[in-house]
Amino acid sequence: MGTKSVAGLLLLLAIPVLADQVVLKNGDRLTGSVSKSDGKVVVIKTDYAGEVTVKFDAIESINASGNITVGLGKRTVVGDSVTVKGDELVVATKTGPVEAPKSSVNALRGPEAETAYEKSLHPGLLQGWNGGLNLGFALTRGNSETKDLNIAFNAVRTGFHDKLLLSMTSIYAANDLPTATPHTTANAVGGDARYDHDLTPRLFAFAAADFYHDALQFLDLRSILGGGLGVHVIKSDSTILDLLAGANYTHESYSAYILPTTPPTPEPAVSHSLAALTLGDSFVHKIGKGTVITQGLLFYPDLTNTGEYRGTFNLGTVTKINKWLGWQNTFADIYVSDPPMGTKKNDLQFTTGLNIAFTHQAAP
pLDDT in tens, 318-347: 998 988 899 988 899 999 998 888 888 999
Residue 297 has pLDDT above 90, yes or no: yes
Residue 69 has pLDDT above 90, yes or no: no
Cα separation, 239 vs 52, whole angstroms: 28
Domain boundaries, the chain: 3-113, 129-360
Residue 307 has pLDDT above 90, yes or no: no
Residue 123 pLDDT grade (very low, low, confident, very high; cuts 50, 70, 90):
low
Cα–Cα nearest to 34, from 24, 20, 47, 48: 20
Residue 313 pLDDT grade (very low, low, confident, very high; cuts 50, 70, 90):
very high
User: What integer pLDDT is reported at residue 14 of this predicted model?
Assistant: 41
Burial code (b: 16+ CB inside 10 Å, e: under 16) for 54-84 equals bebeebbbbbbbeebbbbbeeeebbbbbbbb
pLDDT in tens, 13-46: 444 445 778 888 888 888 887 777 777 888 888 8
Residue 113 DSSP SS3: helix
CA dihedral defined by 235, 236, 241, 245, rounded to 10 degrees? Answer: 10
Residue 363 has pLDDT above 70, yes or no: no
Pick 102 or 142 by higher pLDDT. 142
Superfamily for the 129-360 domain: monomeric porin ompg (2.40.160.40)
User: What integer pLDDT is reported at residue 285 of this predicted model?
Assistant: 92
pLDDT in tens, 72-118: 887 888 888 888 777 788 888 888 888 888 788 888 787 777 777 77
pLDDT above 90 covers what percent of the chain?
38
Pick 310 or 110 by higher pLDDT. 310
pLDDT in tens, 47-67: 777 888 888 788 888 877 678
